A and B are shown apart, each in its own frame.
Chain A
Amino acid sequence: MKNKIIIAITILLSTGFSACSGYLDLEPVDGVIVTKFWKNKEEVKDALMGCYASMMTTGAMQDFLFWGELRGDLIKPRVSANNLSAMSQFQNGDISPNMSYCSWGDIYTVINNCNTVLSFAKETQKLDGSFSDQLLSEYEAEAKCIRALMYFYLVRTFRDVPYVTTASLSDAQNYSVPKTDGSQIIDSLISDLKSIDRAELGTNYGIPYTYGSKKEENKGRFTLWSMKALLADIYLWKDDYENCVSQCNQIINSGQFTLVPVQNTPVEVISISPPDTITAYYPSEGDVDNMFLNMYANGNSVESILELQFGTDHENPFYDLFNPVYGSLVANMEMMSSDQLFPPSAFDRGWYDIRGEGVDYKQGYVWKWIGLSRTSYTYRTDGMSFSNWIFYRLADIILMKAEALCQMGKTSGNTAQLVESLELVKTIRSRACAPETSNEIQDENNINPNDLEKFILKERAREFAHEGKRWFDVLRNAKRNNYAGISYLIELAAYAASPDKALSLQSKWGGDYNSHYLPISESELRTNKALTQNPFYGTR
């Protein structure tokens, strides 16, 4: 008996010890670990799609929207909004670094996803024989485009930000990265994008022209054309107009994109007193309905260049933000109203701008992102908020080109450029059946470049209302030529801020140009000791 027990104990202890070595090695079963990932090209593609998908998180989507619109004058928080006071403080320019709108983490998550693809794709290619050099270069180019787009958002919002191009892998790395000058980042982005421009380089490597016949793929992923749209936008921000025009021209001449057509019928309208005759335009209502459907409700229209593809498996945050029942944001009707953006024709024959009611807004609500029809009051319900987010469409390129040409004409005094610029604006206006009252350049033979600049800016507000562009448009025009256009911001403040705050906001924006950029989030300063708070917001 005794011996048996001793044997049992010995066996027990020895099994226990011999099991030691492997006993504590455990691997997770849910989720993949890095040593088991990055084995073939399919996984690289999955990670690349992860870069796109990470732009669709609520946080990133809100950044795109809020950074582009919330300080602008086209939306405002609703009185019953959940975080009304934070939103209105932000809009009134009472911005403090603890506000969630100053957090850039969701954008850097996208950047890190891109950096991870860029740092592992090459090694993966060595393991996967079927992974061609060309495909590798295409995947890498896509990741670079997404990364450039993210940095462009950051630079426009914060100006100087940490420029991280290495993947975050281990806690042994140093994550305290100091800020890089915004203009330097812009230059890096430009050279990054130029390095993958297969049209200009004349190779088969770099960003592809197309991903086949599916329009979702061609609009949903970076192509050569969407890369050029981004590049044009960056050039415009940099005030590099020649290059901007050249990129825009390549897109316009590519034959890939056309404006969503709206047939309109010119009608001679005769006024008796004062006696005058003018041509009014009446659109085909069906065309306008279809334009709304194709461009916003369904997405991936012929005009679209790049848009984020939401689908039934993932919603955008727009229902929560804009729904007429309890959404947080509504259209700023003071601005949208008839005496500002959408004055009706003086001839009062029902000539109206098709971009007003039913497109930019409906019954005071932001309509582009939740409306399902222009004419009827049907909108996406909770759980159906799938509208795509448009980064670039042809109208944007046309107006970018117009803006660049206007600036070139302004400097050179070359009237031809101004005329060409105005022609481009008219293209957009004629599609929109914009009435004569919103036409700020009546005398086409004697174009004042400053008026044209203003006109283009306003036209952009009409065309791209709530598409996340307003603030960047105004700021770009304001900062040009060493803040020669600061009055644009002063004017914006009057409509963006609440009446009691407008004056103080105007003195902030006019008094210290640093106030145009957001402060670095408080939590970010705490964790990253290499950062300093942006000027205007104090030392911390």
Chain B
Amino acid sequence: MLKIKDLVQCGFHATTIKINNERMKNSIKIYCFVLGLLLSLPLVSQAQTKTIISGKIRDVNGEALIGATVIERDKDNRTLASAITDIDGNFTINMTNTNNSLVFRYVGFQEKIIVPRTQRVITVVLEDSNKTLDEVVITAKVQNSLGGLNIDERDLSMAVSKISMDELEGVHTSSIDDALQGRMAGVDIVGGTGNPGGGMAIRVRGLTSLNGNNEPLIVVDGIPLETKIGSSSSFDFATATEEEFSQMLNIPPSDIQDIVVLKDAAASAIYGSRGANGVLMITTKRGSISPPKIDVQTTFTLNAPRPTLPTLSGYEYVTLVNEAMFNAGKVLNTATYPELAYDPNNPEYYYNYSNNTDWVGALTKNGYAQDYNISLSGGSKKVRYRFSAGYWDETGTSIGTGFQRLNTRANLNYTVSDKLRFVADIAYSNSTTQSNFIPEASNNMSGDLWSKAYIKMPNQSIYYYNVYGELTSQYFTPYSNIQGKYPNVYNPVAMANDSRVDKGSVSALPKFSLIYDFNPQLQFSFDIGLSINNNKTQLYLPQTASGLEWNNSSTNWASDRDDDSFTVQTYSKLRWIPTFKDKNKHRLIGLLGLNTYDSRGSSYSESSSNLPSTMLQDPSIASRVYPSGSIGAGFSQSRQLSLYANLNYTFMDRYIIYGSIRTDGDSKFGKNYRYGIFPAISGRYRISGESFMKEIKWINELSLRASWGLNGNPPNSNYMYYSKYNNYDWNYLGNTATYPASISLDNLHWEVSTQKNIGLNFEGFDNRVNMEFEYYIKTTVDGIGTSALPSTSGFYNTTMNLNTVENRGWEFNIQSTPYRNKSWKVDLSFNVSRSQNYLRKLSEYAGTESGTWQANGSYLIRNVLNQPYGSFYGYMYNGVYLNQNQTIAIDKKGNPIYTMGQTGEMEPVYMRFNYPSIGYIFQPGDARYVDVNKDGNINLQDVVYLGDYNPLFTGGFGPSIRFKNFSLTGWFHFRYGNDVINMTRMNMEKMYSFDNQSKAVLKRFRTPFEPGSEDQAPADLLPRALYAAGYNWLGSDRFVEDGSFLRWKTVTAKYNMPKKLIKGIGLQDLNLWLTMQNLYTWTNYTGQDPEVSLSSNGRDYSRTPRPYQFTMGLKIGF
């Protein structure tokens, strides 16, 4: 017999084996081999004394059943032998022990068990099982698998919230994060772009870490999902965009059963340091004991673009820049600027620069999405299975954007015996995201073309006109014109059509669990989860879009980058559930566990330029490999080790206490600070369980909960406790050139957060109302962050333990069923939460300020003690100086300030900016800022607090109405009280360069208003146009707007065909539905969309807005 011990060791070997890139594949083979062996385990026969039993299997009509199964089972329900009936229904089986039972099975028939004892020939009659199957009632308590602790929901003392996918029915998203927006109290999900595959940022209980890593841990069926791909040098959370994060979340919503969020430290104690930002536990659907069931689901979606911001026409634009030059004391010399000359004698410029191009409109189109899912599930007592496959194909509302995904998942539960079970899951997905090449972005990927299209000069043509005024099919892409040069000037339409940014992601997630019950009290389980990820990023920058010379190193530039990661995680758990005589009095669960984590990432990239044609986009094609650094590789590895013990005790069903202690070790720390110890404790008091409460019938459940716990958070990067030496990409005099690349971080230690939580659960009125309230304080001490180092050290920044941040907030969630009868059911749910962070201690090394007060376009971002992170500071905008008199400085008493002039006469002092180092004198038509300290000088002393990007409240609500087979569900999502800096408006109202502007600038200041007639000035008068001069767009409250919004996210109308009707055509289920998403947004925000990506720190650059979505769906169950 194959020994379990060998198997386990084999599995363990797979975890410790030294794996490099090539070996990764071997490990997969090992794993598959192990899996195969296990599957064939029951068929392995045993060499012992056997007894031959033979017989016949028939149905009630006496017909022989061909291919029926006969199984020998011991008292632990372990399979020892099996046989299959032949064409006459005869069987022969070698029984180990005739006192064991023989199980007779045939599909569609009722199972029969016979213990042969002295019998040697058995004739069995099996009955049709159709009637009995319907009557199987499965009763089970709702349990939450908190990483193997399996505590009943009513015994939970921590902050946990759960959502079942049934509640999200009809919501049409490629990724689960979008569907969850506003659904769970305390979980703030914010998207940044409406492009397909765009991804979102998830924050559980607000922002706590300066680390850049604030994303929660995502756990799928007990195994944390690996979210770091490639070596640390290439994938860094601080710089990663949400797009990169979302690629890891490649689980189709149709495979998900439910999602549990663990919010406090006590709840996340199982996953330790990696769960410090909260844990999102996703449970996928599994098979149940039933005949095979096939579900097919398909949807079709139309993505319709939203209206865009209005911009100037070609003539309006030329008038504006003329005026801007004039006001700045410059003459618009049409010889220098032939783009603005409109001179028919210069036909090339005349035709190409006399248009009215709607650049944003040219980038926009309708998008479509189609989605197919098929699943097969079922099972018997021994085996339960669910296989699913899905395909998603979507194009966005911007040209050149799209998303495709193919995914499959197999979930298998196998019960070897009453003592031994195993679970084998394997998920595979392959996805590709297409987006646009963004030359001005540091990674060429973040951002999108919209912000460029908005400011592109409107008189320029998209396609090239030849000198005869004939429109050609070539893009018109000068490498430089008055707007600047590449990479700031390019043809966005050509870029959208010809460039390429393909991000491919392939991931395989095999998981294997072995569960062994020593006895009903003691259980051992061992999980091993592998994560094999390969990300491929292919970029291509065509000459047709950049317009660069053919020998430029960016012309027809292609890059190909591979990031691979291989992660092995093991979870060994020993669970102890003692049985007490009085089950209702004592309930105890204990857990002892050891987790290991090993992750290796490697990356390889290659780029080359001057590829011969736009059609050839692969860097391996003969081309120029230049400059240095066009080939790169990296490798990185990290490990973690945790040991923990948990205990949950329930007394009298009323008093519940839970304690946990764990020690975490992380390879990212130096030896001195490698291990941390993190305890947690929580309790629950069920008031409704007291005898005096029994009388109050309308209360079904009333509990108070409290928890306290610590958690540690390691830094993101590996090896930081070493001082590293690197080589420059170039030699000096043929000699290698080495330099110190980092200082050693000897003082870096764990960032520790303490979380205190109190909660209240209420259920009443016949369980029709279910309420939860939580209040928490989370204090993060020694927050790890990047600190600027004085550059006199030779380094610009380093990582160190910095600030103390406190997050305080509350969450409220109510689910109710106000009305319910036989045909009607009305559900209402609502949640709201508040999370506010405060800086409680500022490290002297922490950067307390970024941005500048001395330049246009910049806000001071300050971190102030006892204030939230990242508050905006700037000037107060007070309209426009309407005439010269208004620019005279006013002192504290309200009198104009005068000074002795050179000729001995008193002269008025005019308002200045940043005197003496700049000393710009404000002119009529300039933006007027409030001179707070009344010194006639607009400078740092006039900078005030303007707002911050943290919302006061976030949440959502929605009704669900069912009438017979018809249902209507909707959802609304809101964020309230966050400020947004409307950078798009700033860029489109600054009138400072040759950029196109919004229609609002038509109301700009043109001539001074005579003293006395100031009130004739319109209220929305903008400052004068001023080319490359003046201070009209300093960071001020002019561009800070209230970003509160209420979005009608989704509404679904669904019809469930009556079972009777469809049974005739052999179907079990037939659903039809219609969904509309992103229907309407109520907001005072003037930009495109107030939902601004969290990573942009409250700045709106107008990325592709979320489209209106109309979806038709169909689900058929066989």
Residues of B within 8 A of A309 (CB): 732-733
Contact B1028–A84 (Cβ < 8 Å): yes
Which of B5, B727, B748, B1029: most chain A Cβ within 10 A? B5
Please tell me which stretch of A30-38, A181-189, A226-234, A477-485 contacts chain B, meaning at least 4 of its Cβ atoms lie within 8 angstroms of it.
Answer: A30-38
Closest B residue by C-beta to A308: B732
Contact B724–A169 (Cβ < 8 Å): no
Residues of B within 8 A of A37 (CB): 725, 738
Please tell me which stretch of A14-22, A242-250, A370-378, A435-443 contacts chain B, meaning at least 4 of its Cβ atoms lie within 8 angstroms of it.
Answer: A14-22
Contact B628–A313 (Cβ < 8 Å): yes
Please tell me which stretch of B52-60, B559-567, B635-643 contacts chain A, meaning at least 4 of its Cβ atoms lie within 8 angstroms of it.
Answer: B635-643
Q: Choose one: A16, A26, A31, A538; the contact of B638 (CB below 8 Å).
A: A26
Complex: A385 Cα to B553 Cα, angstroms: 12
Contact B725–A105 (Cβ < 8 Å): no
Complex: A420 Cα to B553 Cα, angstroms: 51
Contact B917–A221 (Cβ < 8 Å): no
Complex: A540 Cα to B849 Cα, angstroms: 13
Complex: A530 Cα to B297 Cα, angstroms: 66
Please tell me which stretch of B392-400, B482-490, B1007-1015 contacts chain A, meaning at least 4 of its Cβ atoms lie within 8 angstroms of it.
Answer: B482-490
Residues of A within 8 A of B108 (CB): none
Residues of A within 8 A of B719 (CB): 26-28, 33
How big is chain A's contact interface, by range? 35 or more
- In this assembly, does B1082 line the interface, its C-beta being within 8 Å of a C-beta of chain A? no
Residues of B within 8 A of A98 (CB): 852, 854-855, 858
- In this assembly, does B790 line the interface, its C-beta being within 8 Å of a C-beta of chain A? yes
A42 to chain B, nearest CB (A): 9
Question: A50-B737, A96-B852, A383-B551 known; A175 and B789 CB under 8 Å?
Answer: yes
Please tell me which stretch of B8-16, B1038-1046, B1047-1055 contacts chain A, meaning at least 4 of its Cβ atoms lie within 8 angstroms of it.
Answer: B8-16
Residues of A within 8 A of B524 (CB): 5, 9
Among B346-367, those with CB < 8 Å from A are: none
B854 to chain A, nearest CB (A): 4
Please tell me which stretch of B750-758, B794-802, B868-876, B881-889 contacts chain A, meaning at least 4 of its Cβ atoms lie within 8 angstroms of it.
Answer: B794-802
Q: Choose one: A12, A29, A172; the contact of B8 (CB below 8 Å).
A: A12
Contact B594–A13 (Cβ < 8 Å): yes
Complex: A104 Cα to B665 Cα, angstroms: 40
Residues of B within 8 A of A84 (CB): 1028
Complex: A245 Cα to B723 Cα, angstroms: 45
Contact A113–B641 (Cβ < 8 Å): no
Number of B interface residues in the complex (CB < 8 A)? 110
Residues of A within 8 A of B634 (CB): 30
Among A66-88, those with CB < 8 Å from B are: 79-80, 82, 84-85, 88
Contact A326–B479 (Cβ < 8 Å): yes
Residues of B within 8 A of A49 (CB): 731-733, 735-738
Residues of B within 8 A of A389 (CB): none
Contact B12–A15 (Cβ < 8 Å): yes
- In this assembly, does B718 line the interface, its C-beta being within 8 Å of a C-beta of chain A? yes
- In this assembly, does A349 line the interface, its C-beta being within 8 Å of a C-beta of chain B? no
Residues of A within 8 A of B741 (CB): 31
Closest A residue by C-beta to B921: A504
A395 to chain B, nearest CB (A): 24
Question: A53-B737, A168-B794 known; A12 and B730 CB under 8 Å?
Answer: no
Contact with A along B695-734 (1 / 0, CB 8 A): 0000000000000000000000011001111111111110
Residues of A within 8 A of B746 (CB): 170-172
- In this assembly, does B845 line the interface, its C-beta being within 8 Å of a C-beta of chain A? yes
Question: A49-B738, A103-B791 known; A80 and B482 CB under 8 Å?
Answer: yes
Contact A523–B788 (Cβ < 8 Å): yes
Contact B551–A382 (Cβ < 8 Å): yes
Q: Choose one: A172, A500, A512; the contact of B747 (CB below 8 Å).
A: A172
Question: A56-B730, A113-B740 known; A504 and B919 CB under 8 Å?
Answer: yes
Residues of A within 8 A of B152 (CB): none
Contact B739–A47 (Cβ < 8 Å): yes
Contact B844–A82 (Cβ < 8 Å): no
A220 to chain B, nearest CB (A): 5
Among A82-108, those with CB < 8 Å from B are: 82, 84-85, 88, 94-98, 103-105, 108
- In this assembly, does B520 line the interface, its C-beta being within 8 Å of a C-beta of chain A? no
Contact A24–B231 (Cβ < 8 Å): no
A124 to chain B, nearest CB (A): 13
- In this assembly, does A270 line the interface, its C-beta being within 8 Å of a C-beta of chain B? no
Residues of B within 8 A of A311 (CB): 730-731
Contact A313–B635 (Cβ < 8 Å): no
Contact A112–B730 (Cβ < 8 Å): no
- In this assembly, does A315 line the interface, its C-beta being within 8 Å of a C-beta of chain B? yes
- In this assembly, does B627 line the interface, its C-beta being within 8 Å of a C-beta of chain A? yes
- In this assembly, does A177 line the interface, its C-beta being within 8 Å of a C-beta of chain B? yes
B77 to chain A, nearest CB (A): 13
Contact with A along B299-342 (1 / 0, CB 8 A): 00000000000000000000000000000010000001000000
Complex: A154 Cα to B698 Cα, angstroms: 79
Q: Choose one: A82, A105, A314; the contact of B628 (CB below 8 Å).
A: A314
Question: A26-B718, A80-B485, A381-B549 known; A170 and B854 CB under 8 Å?
Answer: no
- In this assembly, does A43 line the interface, its C-beta being within 8 Å of a C-beta of chain B? yes
Closest B residue by C-beta to A46: B738
Q: Choose one: A11, A33, A383; the contact of B5 (CB below 8 Å).
A: A11
Contact B737–A112 (Cβ < 8 Å): no
Contact A4–B790 (Cβ < 8 Å): no
- In this assembly, does A162 line the interface, its C-beta being within 8 Å of a C-beta of chain B? yes
B522 to chain A, nearest CB (A): 11
Contact B596–A168 (Cβ < 8 Å): no
Contact B732–A527 (Cβ < 8 Å): no
- In this assembly, does A473 line the interface, its C-beta being within 8 Å of a C-beta of chain B? no
Closest A residue by C-beta to B665: A24
- In this assembly, does B425 line the interface, its C-beta being within 8 Å of a C-beta of chain A? no
Question: A28-B719, A33-B723, A325-B480 known; A528 and B740 CB under 8 Å?
Answer: no
Contact A85–B788 (Cβ < 8 Å): no
Contact B722–A28 (Cβ < 8 Å): yes
- In this assembly, does B745 line the interface, its C-beta being within 8 Å of a C-beta of chain A? yes
- In this assembly, does B552 line the interface, its C-beta being within 8 Å of a C-beta of chain A? yes
Residues of A within 8 A of B730 (CB): 53, 56, 311, 313-314
Contact A13–B572 (Cβ < 8 Å): yes
- In this assembly, does B615 line the interface, its C-beta being within 8 Å of a C-beta of chain A? no
Residues of B within 8 A of A527 (CB): 787-791, 845, 847
- In this assembly, does B507 line the interface, its C-beta being within 8 Å of a C-beta of chain A? no
Question: A52-B737, A313-B628 known; A112 and B794 CB under 8 Å?
Answer: yes
- In this assembly, does B237 line the interface, its C-beta being within 8 Å of a C-beta of chain A? no
Contact B793–A313 (Cβ < 8 Å): no
Question: A94-B918, A382-B549, A504-B919 known; A26 and B790 CB under 8 Å?
Answer: no
Complex: A168 Cα to B594 Cα, angstroms: 40
- In this assembly, does B651 line the interface, its C-beta being within 8 Å of a C-beta of chain A? no
Q: Choose one: B748, B789, B914, B992; the contact of A96 (CB below 8 Å).
A: B914
A208 to chain B, nearest CB (A): 14
A165 to chain B, nearest CB (A): 11
Contact A116–B740 (Cβ < 8 Å): yes
B844 to chain A, nearest CB (A): 7
Contact with A along B591-613 (1 / 0, CB 8 A): 00010100000000000000000
Residues of A within 8 A of B594 (CB): 13, 16-17
- In this assembly, does B954 line the interface, its C-beta being within 8 Å of a C-beta of chain A? no
B576 to chain A, nearest CB (A): 14
Q: Could you give 28 example pairs across A and B, Cβ below 8 Å?
A: A9-B574, A12-B12, A13-B572, A28-B724, A30-B636, A31-B741, A33-B724, A34-B725, A53-B732, A82-B484, A96-B852, A96-B855, A97-B854, A109-B794, A113-B740, A164-B792, A169-B723, A171-B743, A172-B747, A175-B790, A220-B733, A309-B732, A325-B549, A326-B480, A500-B329, A524-B791, A526-B847, A538-B939
User: A-B pairs with the 7 shortest C-beta distances?
Assistant: A112-B794, A105-B791, A314-B730, A53-B737, A98-B852, A528-B790, A8-B5
Q: A45-B735, A113-B794 are in contact. List 20 more A-B contacts (CB 8 A).
A: A6-B518, A19-B16, A32-B738, A33-B719, A34-B725, A49-B735, A53-B739, A54-B739, A79-B336, A80-B480, A82-B485, A108-B791, A112-B793, A167-B740, A170-B745, A173-B793, A314-B728, A383-B626, A522-B854, A528-B790
